[in-house]
Amino acid sequence: MPTSVRRTRRVRSNACYYCHSRKAVLPNYVALLGIRQLAEHDRQTGLAYFRIDSLYAALESGMPAPEADLAKLETVVNERAMPPKLFRLVHWTTGLRTDDQRALLDWIASQRRAYATRGVAPEFANEPVQPLPDSLPTDTGKVAVGRQLFNDVRLSADNTISCASCHTLSTGGVDGKKVSSGVGGQLGLVDAPTVFNAALNDKQFRDGRAATLQEQAGGPPLNPVEMASRSWSEIIDKLKQDSSLTQQFLTVYRDGWSGANITDAIAQYETTLLTPSRFDAYLRGGQACAE
């Protein structure tokens, strides 16, 4: 086991875990009157700001730690913001030594390798901000079908609403409305999020209820307030009447029409909607972006 990993585990177990994990085993002197109230206050404050269990789980499993947690830990280490002075009045031996600090930063850098974008310049490989990828793996045939379905109003009950109705590419992938409207002018509860770079989201929808683009694409067609179709069979019956689309669809989906294949095609198309910028080019080693 690398020295930085062993030292990282020791530092977190002996200090960070006291206030940032519900699994912590506190020292016996915490039971003393006065110290108990102070320790409980520190724990509740620490748990509210940052829970470290995911980082410790990464140490134990060897899996990459969450990116946001790495960034939080890095900031704390660099600024020597923890533990707070009041905590040190009771826990005299806590605090990061220079070798502890170096071990944590080395471990963070090793974890970041799992998230580095392909083609990033070496000097930016350990940065929390990574360049957007120029592309992601897709099937060109499915992308072509998905583009048509994304713009097809036949996914809606009355043939008036398509995915593009709420995610207009010419206006940033949104409709610009306070809340989006569906079939019959029904109003939803939220505004439509942009479809650009949605393939890079950890979760989909405003509330994160969908795990993948394909799962997200399956929501609006059957939502009674959005596209209001009653079933995929109803949608497929309309799409099948388009012989050109059907021929193209069956070429890439040999098992035929289905809701799963329709949403897969739409997700394939949405995966191509990436917007790398001049800043992303800079992170790949290009010249600094002009203002």
Tell me if residue 123 is catalytic.
no
* Torsion sign over Cα 144, 147, 153, 154: positive
The predicted-structure confidence for 123-132, as pLDDT tens digits, reads as follows 998 888 899 9
Contact assessment for residue 221 and residue 156, using Cβ atoms and an 8 Å cutoff: yes
Domain ranges of the chain: 3-115, 140-270
The predicted-structure confidence for 63-113, as pLDDT tens digits, reads as follows 888 888 999 889 988 888 777 776 776 666 677 788 888 888 988 898 888
140-270: CATH, from 2.170.120.20, 1.20.1250.20, 1.10.340.30, 1.10.760.10: 1.10.760.10
Instruction: For 58, list phi and psi in degrees, rounded to 5.
Output: -65, -40
Burial class (CB in 10 A: 0-12, 13-18, 19+), 129: exposed
The SS3 assignment for 210 reads strand
Active-site entry in 67, 226, 234, 291: 226
The predicted-structure confidence for 172-190, as pLDDT tens digits, reads as follows 999 999 999 999 999 989 9
Provide the whole-model pTM.
Answer: 0.74
